[in-house]
Structure 1
Amino acid sequence: MTTQNSTADADRALKAKHRAMWAQGDYPSVASEVIPELGAVLVEACDVRPGQRVLDVGAGSGNAAIPAALAGADVVASDLTPELFEAGRRVAAEQGAQLTWQEADAEALPFGDAEFDTVLSCVGVMFAPHHRQAAGEMVRVCRPGGTIGLLSWTPQGFIGRMFAAMKPYAPPPPPGAQPPPLWGDEDHVRGLLGDRVTDVRAERRTVRIDLFPTPEAFRDYFKERYGPTISVYKNIAGEPDRAAALDGDLAALARDGNLAAGQDGTVMEWEYLLVTARRAG
């Protein structure tokens, strides 16, 4: 009993830490300004239609949930961090989308078995620390024959390399936690879903990012707005030399990825993996 209680306490503490990480900064602005089109890409790939019941896992401010609602679906936007919902509600109201917002842990979804026609996640569930647990929950709440859709940053792509660049400055991950960009590895995702799904389709794509005038502007934007980056800088707040080194590493990453070198502005292609599958049974 003591071991079970200790495990439960550790899990609650970890989830509280994750919630706080995403509540800081301004992730809704990242979703709306940097990658606004990705949610609609996933909704289209999942062929979301009017009348379907759709669950967005790790919905954030609704980057995929709102396009799904605008497609006519009955949508639940779920996230561990309800602080993100306020911005999503504003955008939904502006666009005339009606949907339900519900706090939920991706690793213990508060929904019944086979409750949804489509279960999707746009760079959301990939940040749940226990991948197999989260994948199992997505499959569980999807009806047999229903669609599971995932859009995740790849390990080899820009965001995957950004996480690799930040890793030496971050605290050690908790036991059992897996790196988020693994969800962008096709073999890893196939292993997570296993024989519980059929008709798996996986495709690497890129999104063009031309928002930032300089590599340093990219770095400063993410330092101010993106929860994981903010958390890493907080971890080395008392070490100015390491903070300066991380400053240099992130600017160098954007500089190396700049397709417009020698021209005005910074243009990057960020790679992601788009996966759709059908629940077996």
Structure 2
Amino acid sequence: MNVSLSRNAPRLDHRADRAHQQSSWSSADYAVVGNVLQIVGEELCETLNLYQDARVLDVAVGNGHASLAAARRWCEVTATDFAPDLTHRARERTEALNLGVRFVEADAESLPFADQSFDAVTSTFGAMFSPDQERAASEMIRVCRRGCQVGLANWTPDGFFGQLFAVIGSPRGMAPAAFDWGTEERLRDLFGVYGRIEAVPKRVAFRYRTPMDWVDKFRASYAPVLKTFAKLDVAQQRELRKELLELVARFNRGKDGTMVVDAEYLEVVVVRR
């Protein structure tokens, strides 16, 4: 089937949103809260059944979970992110583990690679936040070889992270429909014309000493929460803290005052036609 991929499609002007989002994500140390997600990258690479010397592109690399998992499987990995400040932890981890990952500064909506350059394309909780979602989806498909796979991990709207953003709202530059990437309906809209879609709901546990410990760490190190608190006065911050603790209480299975919250996400594989 011939489809129009992103380089031939009209492009909306999201430059202001993208610049604001880049600044926001660079304002916090995502690694502090993101390390728990390593297991997500490992499971995604297992699902993709990556093989030695496969050319893998990791889009919106962040902390490097999928990139490192692919490199451990002896793949040739290229990792991209539009915010270079975000990738320094991934670089450090790569060097510490003596793994070969090539880092390229690039926007998910304008990947600087030729058509069908990669045997697999991954993005864990990254591409879903692109301002121009259709463009990001078509770019990942464009650089993936026919018959190969795009693998994604996307938060679901009804899961813990979807509900977190329902509390704090969508920061400027972040598509309001980002969490629709965690629904099969939206995935069909974005990827259905390009290939077969397989989606499996999964969960990853966030474990903290107490719910308040989680609030403090996310307030300091998770950019969307940090930015939301920064806009509020003292009374409003107190109210937001209360709402966040109520959110944790809805999901918490921890005992003795601890926090153990299972955050639902959708593991997605698109097999390109």
How do 1:36-185 residues align onto structure 2 when only pairs under 5 Å count? Answer: 36-167=38-169, 173=172, 177-185=175-183
| 1:221 paired residue among 217, 232, 237 | 217
| 1:31 paired residue among 29, 34, 37 | 34
The change in CA–CA distance for 1:264 and 1:247 in structure 2 (over 3 A counts) is: closer
Which residue is equivalent to 1:274?
Answer: 267
Unaligned runs of 5+ in 2: 1-10
Which residue is equivalent to 2:3?
Answer: none
Unaligned runs of 5+ in 1: 1-7
Which residue is equivalent to 2:203?
Answer: 206
TM-score using structure 1 length: 0.89
TM superposition shift of 1:85: 1.9
**How far apart, CA to CA, are the structure 2 residues paired with 1:106 and 1:178?**
17
Q: Which amino acid aligns with 2:32?
A: S
After superposition, what is the alpha-carbon deviation per residue over 1:142-195, rounded to whole angstroms, capped at 9, x for unaligned? 01011111101100100000000111xx66x56x93332111111111210022
- SS of equivalent to 1:269: strand
Contact 1:153/1:271 (<8 A) preserved: yes
Contact 2:118/2:145 (<8 A) preserved: yes
Is 2:186 aligned against 1:188? yes
How do 1:236-251 residues align onto structure 2 when only pairs under 5 Å count? Answer: 236=232, 239-251=233-245
Is 2:11 aligned against 1:14? no
Q: Which amino acid aligns with 1:183?
A: W
Contact 2:14/2:131 (<8 A) preserved: no
Root mean square deviation of aligned Cα: 1.9
TM superposition shift of 1:109: 1.0
**How far apart, CA to CA, are the structure 1 residues paired with 2:114 and 2:41?**
25
- How many residues align structurally? 264
**How far apart, CA to CA, are the structure 2 residues paired with 1:192 and 1:235?**
33
TM superposition shift of 1:213: 1.5
- SS of equivalent to 2:14: helix
How high is the sequence identity, in percent, across the aligned residues? 34
